[in-house]
Amino acid sequence: MNPLTEKTLLLVVDEPHMLRLLQFALRKTGAKTLEATSGRAALNLAATQTVDLVVIDFMMPELDGFATLRELRRDPKYAKIPVIMLTSRGQLELRDTAEGLGIELFLTKPFSPAEMVQHVRRLLGADPAAS
């Protein structure tokens, strides 16, 4: 049995082409995906759904990725959820803040969809090579 078929991923990306790329790549894992194009929409989804992992872009309308994550982390069920942050910026200070918020992975765009799938599988404990 595929261990990811029971998992739900929240994709928080405001760029339509990037969102489609992530949907296509991550749905191949068997996981369900929920999509939000802003931080506010992501928080609304998280309030009504249970998600197992978040992929979030740093730069978004309304709330950036850090502000969205700070709000999400206030909910005890999301205090320790694995998070992958995407950005086109690679400055060290962003990485330090991301690590301080408990972000497991900080990926700079462009990235390989296959690499993203590997990271998701590893973070959700579905990668046999990581055991």
Which residues are registered as beta bridge partners of 131? none
Flag whether pLDDT at 127 surpasses 80: no
Half-sphere exposure (Cβ direction) of 124: Cα atoms closer than 13 Å: 25
DSSP class of residue 101 equals: T
Both tokens assigned to 8: 């739900």
| Lowest mean per-residue pLDDT among 14-18, 27-31, 71-75, 120-124 | 27-31
Alpha-carbon distance 14 to 119, whole Å? Answer: 21
Of 110, 60, 112, 104, nearest to 85 by C-alpha is 104
3-state class (DSSP) for residue 7: coil
Looking at the chain, the whole-number percentage of residues with pLDDT higher than 70 is 93
User: pTM for the complete prediction?
Assistant: 0.91
Q: How many helices (H) and strands (E) does the chain have?
A: 5, 5
DSSP strand pairing (8-12 vs 83-87): unpaired
| Lowest mean per-residue pLDDT among 37-41, 70-74, 86-90 | 86-90
Flag whether pLDDT at 119 surpasses 60: yes
Quote the pLDDT of residue 131.
Answer: 42
> How much is the average pLDDT of 98-121?
89
Question: Is pLDDT larger for residue 20 or for residue 128?
Answer: 20
3-state class (DSSP) for residue 113: helix
> How much is the average pLDDT of 64-74?
94
